[in-house]
Structure 1
């Protein structure tokens, strides 16, 4: 979950948190799996990054990145053979780096496999260990059998567990975590600066009419096909309406085909991935961000939209209701309910003043609870608890 290079499509929320802590004066070293073309050692914004190889030739390192381990395991079943190699390489690399650097604290991201490796090394060397569940490890992996036992062992042995939403918190507690060990600290979104020239360029290319925006991976659980179907239902009701898809993924061709079948291809635009520093400008150029996910642990794109006061319509799943309080900071609909989504989109353009008021309230909520400064304070407070002992 740590980007391999600049402008990588890997979400940078772990990198954002590491850079935040480095700015606060912490000495941060990141250990991440290697990928063909990535540097083995580098320093990024004051963060030392070390990447361990787990397959040779390096072109075989296809288990991580490009959508994440779970997606890669489904798309490339042969990568299951790399799991034991990766875990052994990770464990040995972590042990070696801890013996050399003697860190004051270990922070693992995801219960498996990182949390398991960190538990072993933390116990062996007597280092405090904080682990973070970003949601995929509890929602995307089996809770029973060997996988469930491993997750519960990490939860039991870690000194503290951080989660990114109330939904993830409930799932971790259901796995057996003691409530006092679980801390809700949101992941760090790309709260960027709006660049006027980019907003103007978007307007020049896609017109000055109203715009619906989606940002993320084109996979089934993100609800991208539902958005296309909803857009087709309300497209004729709003003049010059455009739908922009920023991102990419395995459903790209299916989405293009569906847009043609629905006869909305002239109003639907597939933009591709954009650099992280541009996303705030795309949000600002849009009239509404839609997050139609079937499953979403937190929903960082919601934070990004709210930070620039762009109205949000999202499905009522996972951690999204933490951010989108219906009729207060945005609008919610039941996942996969295409008709309700279409109605909410129409209403967003008819009642613009209502949408703008909710967007202003959302911006204030983000500043108070989800801004980089707010997350840095919470993370540092947690770290300091263990350094005092």
Structure 2
């Protein structure tokens, strides 16, 4: 990416009179007691300055009151953004992969009709269902659509292998596709000639704070080395390999603490692994962290580690760099496209605890140049990423 991105002023003036419709599987609710696809809201925060109005439609699966998302998500508005959470039904046949019921397209159309929503341009997030819905709305309303494909590498590869007509339509139908890494662009060009590589970004909430100050606020020792990691506790994130690596690290030095933030179905298994390996004094699962603590943890650590088995382009990587901290992560998805120099972090083979341990030890022993990391991070602010996206909008709206 180029940090000095310009947008055609005449095109900006034209778009300023228009309304952007954003389709996303989830969106944080009004008080952020429900948080999902937060990066979409961060992106919207930058894009809304370029449009007269933004409309966000995030279908919520109807659960008859049993699930948190259904209970907490209610329509709301702020600034020039309107957010709608229509209730929908989606029932897959897990044993075949087929879909028995999915009315999300229908309820999005009903929401548009019910609230008399008028829009000029559509931006869909993820291939299914938003990308497909965006294509169908393009056909019905004659409005251009741009789809950003955020899927992690494994998910994306499965979509390609499926060769499903609806997935293929979701990729061939938009006026343009955006992929969050560069390596998958040639694959997508088999479906659509207009494909752009634009990474995720980080919000202004992530900025450098003195490590000692951040640690004081989190009651962390100033004398210990701190490794921080964050993500959903699922197998794909590879936290078991990080725990294994800490066993190796603790055999070589006794001043390293590892904190893992996030919730998920793997928590019990990961805690069992920590207990069996007698690492409870060095590895701690933090659970879900409030949004206002994430930047503190990023700044309190010596290094951030992401041991994922596959990714698209992890937002936490950009947030880490935005805090001026080095990133140690696996060579998956778009990670090597961002960590292009050992000045910004170290890359690791996925599913390799020994390699991860040695890279963490090397990173902890190294003097990092925070200013150089921050200079690299500037190109990935959501403000600059939004300018890249606006250039694509301008091309399809021309």
What's the TM-score once normalised by structure 1's chain length?
A: 0.84
Q: Say how many residue pairs are matched.
A: 360
Q: Which protein, 1 or 2, shows the higher relative CO under an 8 Å CA cutoff with sep ≥ 6?
A: 2
Aligned to 2:104: 86
Q: Specify the SS of the correspondent of 1:177.
A: coil
Alignment match of 1:169 (pick from 178, 185, 193): 185
- State the Cα deviation string for residues 324-366 of structure 1 (Å, max 9, x = none): 124232110110111111011111122x21xx13x54332122
Partner in structure 2 of residue 384 of structure 1: 394
User: Which of the numbers 358, 372, 375 marks the counterpart of 1:361?
Assistant: 372
- Residues 287-306 of structure 1: matches in 2 within 5 Å? 287-306=302-321
CA pair 25-154 structure 1, distance change in 2 beyond 3 A: closer
Q: Which has the larger displacement, 81-90 or 154-163?
A: 81-90
1:81: how far off? 6.8
Distance 1:279-1:30 versus aligned 2 partners, 3 A rule: same
Which of 200, 206, 214 pairs up with 2:229?
Answer: 214
**Corresponding residue for 1:329?**
344
| Structure 1 segment 148-187 matched on structure 2, within 5 A | 148-173=164-189, 175-178=190-193, 181-187=194-200
Q: 1:153 to 1:101 in 2, by over 3 A?
A: same
Q: Which residue of 2 aligns with 1:66?
A: none
Deviation string 1:109-145 (CA, Å, 9 cap, x unpaired) is: 1121111111111122111111111124952643245
Alignment of 1:96-115 (within 5 A): 96=113, 100-115=116-131
Structure 1 gap ranges (5+): 56-60, 64-72
TM superposition outliers: structure 1 runs of 4+ over 6 Å: 76-82
How far, CA to CA, are the matches of 1:253 and 1:190 in structure 2?
Answer: 31
For 1:387 and 1:85, locate their aligned partners in 2 and report how far apart those are by CA, in whole Å.
29
Q: Is the 8 A contact 1:168 1:319 kept in 2?
A: no
Deviations 1:1-47 (A, max 9, x none): 32235153424111111121113444111000124123431014542
Deviation of 1:77 (Å): 8.0
2:27 paired with 1:27: no
CA contact (8 A) 2:180 2:313 kept: yes
User: Matched residues in 1 for 2:108 and 2:51: separation?
Assistant: 27
* Alpha-carbon RMSD: 2.7
Alignment of 1:134-149 (within 5 A): 134-136=150-152, 139=156, 141-145=158-162, 148-149=164-165
How has the CA–CA distance of structure 1 residues 128 and 81 changed in structure 2, closer, same or farther, with 3 Å as cutoff? closer
Unaligned runs of 5+ in 2: 1-25, 61-68
| Contact 1:160 1:182 (8 Å CA) reproduced | yes
CA distance in structure 2 between the partners assigned to 1:77 and 1:209 by the alignment:
49
| Alpha carbons 1:214, 1:290 under 8 Å: kept | yes
How far off its partner does 1:318 sit?
Answer: 0.8
- Name the SS of the counterpart of 1:13 in structure 2: helix
Aligned residue number for residue 40 of structure 2: 14
1:138-181 CA distances to partner (integer Å, 9 max, x unpaired)? 52643245x632222122221011111113434423x5222xx1
